[in-house]
Structure 1
Amino acid sequence: MHPGIYLVTLTVWDDAGFSDQDTMTVEVLDITPPVADAGRDRRAPPGTLVEFDARGSHDNVGIVNYTWFFNYNFTEVVLYGVTPTYIFEIEGVYNITLTVKDAAGNENNDVTIINVTMQTYTINLIPGWNLISIPTMELNWDIDILLGPVNGKYDRIQTYDEVTGLWFIYDANAPYWVNTLSALDGASGYWIFITGDENVELHLFGQEREDSFEIQLLKGWNLVSYPSLRTDLTISQALAGVSWDIVQQCDQNRPYNLRIMPGSENIEPGRGYWIHVISDHTWQVAQADSSHEVIFAWDDFDGHTFSTTNTCLEYDVTYIDSRMMTTIER
C-alpha cells in the first residue's frame, strides 16, 4: 500500500438485514528508502566544469533532497540539487558521495568517481556529422564511458563493417535493445552526429600507442581509423605499401559530407577515413618512433630496386622504413 493516511470503514450485517458501521484511520508509514544513483564514473582534464547527475535516483513517493559531498584541496565541498556543477582545477581522483532523502526521512547513498587528469588527445567536433576515430589505447571502450566528455551533445554514432556489409548504429534516444553498437575500437572509423549549435571537445585519456597497429583492409571501401598520434605523415606516406586509389574524409561543405583527399595531404589523428583499396591488404599503421630500419630502396631514376647493402646510386633514392612503412627522402 502506498504511504499515506487512509479512512477505513467497516460495515457488518446480521441475518435480519440490520447493519452497523464503524470507521478508523490507518496511517501507512513510508519505510522504503529511496534509490540513489550518482551517475557514471568519469575522467576530465583540469579546469573542466563537471556536471553531476542524479537523475537516475528514484523513490516510491518522491525525493525531496539531493546532497553531494566530497573533499577538494583539503576542504569539504557540499553541493545541492539534481545536477549541480563544479570546476576541478587540481588533478586527482575524487570520490563524490550523493545522499538522497525522501519526505519521511529515509535516505540512501551512492558514490561516483571523478578522475581529473590531463587528456592525451582532444578531438574537436562541430555541429552535424563528424567522421572520427580513436587514436589512443583506452582502458574502457564502452560508448557511455569513452564518449562521456560529450554525453548529451550527440545523438547518433554509426560505423560500417566491411566483412558483413552492415551498418552498426547507436542511437542515444532509442531503447537499448534497438542499438547494434555498444562499444568502439581502435581500427574503425565512426560517424557521430553532434547536436546543438556549438563546437564540442572529445577528450581522450588513453595512452599513446608505441607498437605498430594492424588494420585489415578488404578489397573495396573500408571505414577505418588512423590509430596513431603522428601528424608528420601524408596520406601517401601513411599508406605506403597499400594498394589504395581513393581516400575520403568528412567535409560538411561537400555532398554526402565527404571529399577526396590528395596523397600529399597530411593524415590527421582522431579522424576517420574511407579508404578504397584494389586488393585485400594488411595496413601497418605508423607510430611515433624515431628509430628507422631501412629494408630496401629503389632508384627514382629508373625504378631499380636494390638491397641496402649495395652502394646507393647518385640519383634520388627512396627508402622504406620497415617499422613505419614510411618513405624517407635522401
Structure 2
Amino acid sequence: MICSNGFARLPLLQQTSTAVFVDNNTYPEKAMNSVSIYKTLGALACSFFFVSGASAKPASAPPIVELIVPYSPGGASDTMARVIAPALQKATGSQIVVVNKPGANGAIAGAYVARSEHNGSRILLADLAIALNPILRKATPYNVEKNFSPIALLGTGAFVLYVPASGPATLNDFLAPNGKDRTIAHSGVGSLGHLAAELLQQKTHRKIISVAYQGAGPAMTATVGGQVDAMFGSTASGMGMVQNGTLKALAVADHTRLPGYPDVPTFAELGVDGVYAVNWWGLIAPAGTPKDIVDWLYDGARQVLDNQQVKDQLKRIEVTPTLKDAQAYKDLISHDVAQWESVVSQAGIKID
C-alpha cells in the first residue's frame, strides 16, 4: 500500500529503519482496545514522515535512544510510545527503541532510568505515577525531583466526576447536604481517582466515603449501576457511557474544559476551587543529563507535537497534546508532588 506522501506503507513493527519495539512484559497495565491501537499505529506509519527534518544534533548525542515504557504492551502509555516513537526518531535523527519495563506501578522503570548513564541514551515516558510512587510507597528507589532531568511534557488527561444517569443533575446537587455521606468509587488505594475523591472532600468539607474496587472497570460498573454515588475517571473510561446516557459528567478536574466534553464545566467554574486531578505523560532523563542533550530531545518532542497527524492520534486515545519545556515540566512535577503529598497526609493514606 502507498501512503499519500508517496512512501510505501510497511507493517510498523517490521520497519527496521524506523523505531524498534521490545517487550519485557511481566505485569499488565489497563489494556486498550487492540483494534484501536493498531489503527493508530497504522496511521502513524505514514504520518511520521510529515515531521520536519532532524533537530540540530549535538556531537555527544547517542545514535540509539531507549524509550522506556513503565507498563506492559497494550496500555495507554505503551500506545502513546508507539505513536510518538517513529516521529521522534525522524525529528532527532537517532533510532528510538521502545522498551516495556513494567512492574510496581512504574517504579521499576523509574529506578532503571534513574540509574542509567546521563547521556540521553535512555529516557522514560513517564506519567503521574512516577511522582505519586514516592509519596505512597516509602520504599520507592528514587526521588522524582532529585533523580531525573525533565525534558518535555507531551500530553495530559484530566479526570472527570461521573454520576449515574439517575444521579444528581449538577455538582451543587451532588455536594448539597442530604442526610447521608456520598460514596465515590475508585480503582484502588492510591489511584488518581482515590486521591481526587479525597481532594474533593478536603476542598468542600462534604463527607465522602471512598470505595475501592479491583480496577477501573468494576468501579465504573458500580457507578453505572448506582451502587455508589460517583466516580472520578478519565475521559476515555467514561465517554462512551456518557454518550449512551448511562452516565453523566458533572465537572472536570482541570483548569480548562476538555475537548471531549466542551459542555462540561470545570470545578472552578462551578465555584469549587483547587480540585485539580490530571494525569500527564512526558519525557524524563536521568539527573545530570547535559543541557544540550535535553534541548535536543525537547526540540524533537516539539517537532513531534507540531505534527497534526500525531496530535490527532493522541486525541484518539484521549490524550490532550500539551507541550511544556524542561523548566515548565519540572514546575508541574513539583506542583503535583506538593499537592498530592498534602492530600495523602491529610487523608492518612498508606500503602506500605
Instruction: Report the TM-score, using the length of structure 1 for normalisation.
Output: 0.22
Give 1 or 2: higher strand fraction.
1
RCO comparison, higher one (Cα < 8 Å, 6+): 2
- TM-score, normalised with respect to structure 2: 0.21
* Bigger radius of gyration: 1
